[in-house]
Amino acid sequence: MSRRNGHGAKKELDFELNLTSLIDLLSTCTCFLLISAVWIQIGTVEIKQSHGTEAAAAAKDSFDLDLVFKSASDLHLQLKKDGKPVKGIDVKADTNEAMLIKLNEAIANQILNKDNKSKKMTIAVATVTPKSTVNYGQLVSTLDVLRKNQIVNIGVLTAKGQ
Amino acid sequence: MRLNQSIVAANPFEKHLINRRRKKGKGMRSPQFTLMLTSMVDMFSMLVIFLLQTFSNTPEVSMLKGMQLPNSMTPSIVREAPVLAISRDGNLYLDQKLVGKTSDVSKKPDELLNKLNIIKKGWVSSHTSAFTGEINLQADREVESTTVSLVMGVLTASQFQSIQLAVIGK
């Protein structure tokens, strides 16, 4: 198939693509992206030291949760309302990983769905009390379990009880 | 469109010579080589697509050498803030500068408090809004949790109440 142009010469339909500029563009793009690539994805777990901030004053009707580490695989949960203890749960296992699974179940079943109502309970502030035998990685894993259960206002109790 | 038949030599006369040599000597190795451009362009495109997908515009946070951050399933995006780091050997660094041993700093936090106050004043002078008290805290996963909480106590005393614990997202 051919088409005649104004001068009578045949114009070729089988065209050639100039690949040099395309390859240049792709190599530049690749170089830029390789240089600016982030190989380690760093994220954050936010801690709000709740004393004296809006977090504590947000909702008086809701419950507070205290988590006290006895050891890396032994944790005591204390549910409070207006500062008064409502329910205490001991979460204990052989390993820290097993304890975290039990903690997740305890928060989901025994605390957030405490009264078996369709509406889930809201925890205003969760306070974690660390212990020297618990390392930072295990502390963050515990905070992770809380965040997974939509508890986002988390404070960590310091040694002076602040 | 002929991609696969493209020859590196740009000159049409050279192309003609190469084609003639190819036709003549079948089995003979040509001194001129041809580049398989289709596969190369394919590879480049796939690389660009992959890198574009993994491209992240979160702020760059410097990390201490040898620091092993804890893993997290629920990480949030990093926000730009001063970085306080606790290394495995117990040293405390503020924006990559050594402040001292954590045990000493927790007993006598004056130096750290002064440095934090300077950062706070700098923030207040450069912003019109109220001080947010944000700080990035990096600590090695093997550090005692009480050590981290002691440092948090110093930060809270210095009005840095929104502490972002640096983690590695899974």
The conformation of residue B29, written as its DSSP 8-state character, comes to P
What pLDDT, on the 0 to 100 scale, is given for residue A145?
92
Average pLDDT over residues B139-154: 91
Residues B34 and B8: their CA atoms lie apart, in Å, by 6
Each residue's pLDDT tens digit, B47-68: 999 988 888 777 777 888 888 9
Residues B34 and B81 occupy one common structural domain = no
> Which segments of B5-118 are extended strands (E)?
71-72, 83-86, 91-94, 97-101
% of residues, chain B, pLDDT over 90: 26
For residue B26, the enclosing domain spans 12-53
Looking at the structure of chain A, the number of domains it has is 2
* Interface check B46 vs A, CB under 8 A: no
Residue B115: inside a domain = yes
Residues B79 and B150 occupy one common structural domain = yes
Q: Which two tokens stand for residue B117?
A: 């106050």
Residues A70 and A142 occupy one common structural domain = yes
Cα(first)–Cα(last) distance of chain B, in Å?
45
ipTM of the complex: 0.72
Tell me: pLDDT of A6 over 70: no
Average pLDDT over residues B64-76: 88
B contact test, residue of A27, A127, A136 with most B CBs within 10 A:
A136
Residues B5 and B15: their CA atoms lie apart, in Å, by 10
Interface of A with B in 73-112 (CB under 8 A): none
- Bridge partners (DSSP) of residue A80 are A64, A85
- Bridge partners (DSSP) of residue B134 are B162
% of residues, chain A, pLDDT over 70: 80
Interface of B with A in 91-120 (CB under 8 A): none
Q: Which of B77, B146, B167 lies at the smallest CB-CB distance from A140?
A: B167
Residues of B with Cβ-Cβ distance to A146 under 8 angstroms: none
Looking at the structure of chain B, the number of domains it has is 2
Average pLDDT over residues B14-30: 68
What pLDDT, on the 0 to 100 scale, is given for residue B30?
63
* B21/B43: higher pLDDT: B43
What pLDDT, on the 0 to 100 scale, is given for residue A28?
93
CB contact under 8 A, B144 and A41: no
CB contact under 8 A, B141 and A137: yes
Residue A43: inside a domain = no
* Best CA proximity match to B162, nearest among B118, B132, B142, B138: B132
* Interface check B67 vs A, CB under 8 A: no
For residue A8, the enclosing domain spans 3-36
Residues B76 and B156 occupy one common structural domain = yes
Q: How many CB atoms lie within 10 A of CB B16?
A: 11
What is the SS3 string spanning chain A? CCEECCCCCEECCCCCCCHHHHHHHHHHHHHHHHHHCCCCCEEEEEEECCCCCHHHHCCCCCEEEEEEEEECCEEEEEEEECCEEEEEEEEECCCHHHHHHHHHHHHHHHHCCCCCCCCCCCEEEEEEECCCCCEHHHHHHHHHHHHHCCCCCEEECCCCCC
What pLDDT, on the 0 to 100 scale, is given for residue A157?
85
